[in-house]
């Protein structure tokens, strides 16, 4: 059983790295030995009205999970709540790579468990129940999953020589005066552009209670930082020798739980490696102006939650992930925040007015504002 886990920031990059090297037969045996897939596959998960889910034969969606416990869960079956949930989308037809963050505090229907925060789904039933929850609430098909231990994150960042990030003054001050950077000797970051090592990058990506001009505050800030770290890692990997990346990826696979076997990974390999894509398009769910907030205190106590306009976000995901439908103002055309499912609870305040990460689905990895 692994120790405390972090978001699967590196999962998609491990795939990309293995993909690049997988074309070289020399690595086949090492890859085979490194990958130990879980028996349960996303393909076998029972989904209500599965035939109605949005999907495309040219699109692969990989669920990326980071949680408090090891990849195999605890002995009593408690997986721990997932702090970070993302879906990496690979479109082989359009040659696009996309990343979607799902805010953990969204108030959703969890099959067999009633309503709760999204991250409770993983605690109750692991990646299978999390997939069922995402499918039921957002109508998306997921093909594979990865759960990554935090040691894999630090290991990969350090092995590629760190990543270049730009920190705001308040972020740097916070990181240097708290334990988000676990090792004291590395609590020496500064405002502005710099190279962060694995320990520093992990701390930066975990920060929640610091407002960012670029991403906003609380969960908006944290998921924005996570996507930024992922993009920076991807850009740094593009500068490395493919053979070196394969070695790094295989070393990190010991900290990964996945339903992808080596055959599937190698199949993914050639396609992704030959796409020539250098950018990752990004989306945050819920998108702007499609949610309200409240404090939900009934049993089980949830605390602060986001009430979501599911129809607007379903349509946004259909367009972003699968290129289905048309580009539009999804919030305005589907009722905005007023159509959020509040379940009878009064809204605490209009969080949509918070400045920062817009969640605009037309954002590329280089922009923070929509068109």
pLDDT tens digits, 326-363: 999 999 999 999 999 887 776 654 444 444 454 544 44
| pLDDT tens string 104-118 | 999 999 999 999 999
Instruction: Reduce the DSSP state of residue 271 to 3 states and report it.
Output: helix
182, burial (CB in 10 Å: exposed 0-12, middle 13-18, buried 19+)? middle
Q: What percent of the chain has pLDDT over 90?
A: 40
Q: What is the pLDDT of residue 8?
A: 35
Q: Where does the pLDDT of residue 67 fall: very low under 50, low under 70, confident under 90, or very high at 90 and above?
A: low
Nearest to residue 146, comparing CAs of 46, 16, 50, 321?
Answer: 16
Q: What angle do the packed helices 11-22 and 262-273 form, to 10 degrees?
A: 80
Least confident of 215-219, 254-258, 326-330: 254-258
Q: What is the pLDDT of residue 77?
A: 43
Q: What is the pLDDT of residue 235?
A: 84
Average pLDDT, the chain: 78
Q: Where does the pLDDT of residue 164 fall: very low under 50, low under 70, confident under 90, or very high at 90 and above?
A: very high
Q: What are phi and psi of 238, to 5 degrees?
A: -60, -20
More confident call, 195 vs 263: 195
Average pLDDT over residues 13-20: 42
Q: Where does the pLDDT of residue 18 fall: very low under 50, low under 70, confident under 90, or very high at 90 and above?
A: very low
Q: Which CATH number fits domain 11-150+242-289: 3.40.190.10, 3.90.1150.10, 3.40.50.80, 3.30.420.590?
A: 3.30.420.590
Q: What is the pLDDT of residue 39?
A: 55
Least confident of 45-49, 83-87, 269-273, 365-369: 365-369
More confident call, 49 vs 151: 49
Nearest to residue 62, comparing CAs of 147, 174, 188?
Answer: 147
Give domain 161-236's CATH architecture.
Answer: 3-Layer(aba) Sandwich (3.40)
Structure-token match 């920076």, residue found: 232
Q: Quickly count: other Cβ atoms within 10 Å of residue 17's Cβ.
A: 27
Residue 308 has pLDDT above 90, yes or no: yes
| pLDDT tens string 72-98 | 333 344 445 556 788 989 999 999 989
Q: E strands, 177-320, where?
A: 192-196, 256-258, 281-285, 291-296, 303-308
Q: Quickly count: other Cβ atoms within 10 Å of residue 341's Cβ.
A: 18
| pLDDT tens string 318-333 | 999 999 999 999 999 9
Question: Where in the chain are all domains bearing CATH 3.40.630.190?
Answer: 161-236
The token pair that represents 202 in the structure block: 């992990």
Q: What is the pLDDT of residue 37?
A: 59
End-to-end Cα separation, the chain, in angstroms? 45
Residue 5 has pLDDT above 90, yes or no: no
Q: What are phi and psi of 303, to 5 degrees?
A: 75, -140
Question: Where in the chain are all domains bearing CATH 3.30.420.590?
Answer: 11-150+242-289
Q: What is the pLDDT of residue 68?
A: 45
| Residue 229: its H or E element | helix 218-237
More confident call, 279 vs 242: 279
Q: What percent of the chain has pLDDT over 70?
A: 71
């Amino acid at each position: 059983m692994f120790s405390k886990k972090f978001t699967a920031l590196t999962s998609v990059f491990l795939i990309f790295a293995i993909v690049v090297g997988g074309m070289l037969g020399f690595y086949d045996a090492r890859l085979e030995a490194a990958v130990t897939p879980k028996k349960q596959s996303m393909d076998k998960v029972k989904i209500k009205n599965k035939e109605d889910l949005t999907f495309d034969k040219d699109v692969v969606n990989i669920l990326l999970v980071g949680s408090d416990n090891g990849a195999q869960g605890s002995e009593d079956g408690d997986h721990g709540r997932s702090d970070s949930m993302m879906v990496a989308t690979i479109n082989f037809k359009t040659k696009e790579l996309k990343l979607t963050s799902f805010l953990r505090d969204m108030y959703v229907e969890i099959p067999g468990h009633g309503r709760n925060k999204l991250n409770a789904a993983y605690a109750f039933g692991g990646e299978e129940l999390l997939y069922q929850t995402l499918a039921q609430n957002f109508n998306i098909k997921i093909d594979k999953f990865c759960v990554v231990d935090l040691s894999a994150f630090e290991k990969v960042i350090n092995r590629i020589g760190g990543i270049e990030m730009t920190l705001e003054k308040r972020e740097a001050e916070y990181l240097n005066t708290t334990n988000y950077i676990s090792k004291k000797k590395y609590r020496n970051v500064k405002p502005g552009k710099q190279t962060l090592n694995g320990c520093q990058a992990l701390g930066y990506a975990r920060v929640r209670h610091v407002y960012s001009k670029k991403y906003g505050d609380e969960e908006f800030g944290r998921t924005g930082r996570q996507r930024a770290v992922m993009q920076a890692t991807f850009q740094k990997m593009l500068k490395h020798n493919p053979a070196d990346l394969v070695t790094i990826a295989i070393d990190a696979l010991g900290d990964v739980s996945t339903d992808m076997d080596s055959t599937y990974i190698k199949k993914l390999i050639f396609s992704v490696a030959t796409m020539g894509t250098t950018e990752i398009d990004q989306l945050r769910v819920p998108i702007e102006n499609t949610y309200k907030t409240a404090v939900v205190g009934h049993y089980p106590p949830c605390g602060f939650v986001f009430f979501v306009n599911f129809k607007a976000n379903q349509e946004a995901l259909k367009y972003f992930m699968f290129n289905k439908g048309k580009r539009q103002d999804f919030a305005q055309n589907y009722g905005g925040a007023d159509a959020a499912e509040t379940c009878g609870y009064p809204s605490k305040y209009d969080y949509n007015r918070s400045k920062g990460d817009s969640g605009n689905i037309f954002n590329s990895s280089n922009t923070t504002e929509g068109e």
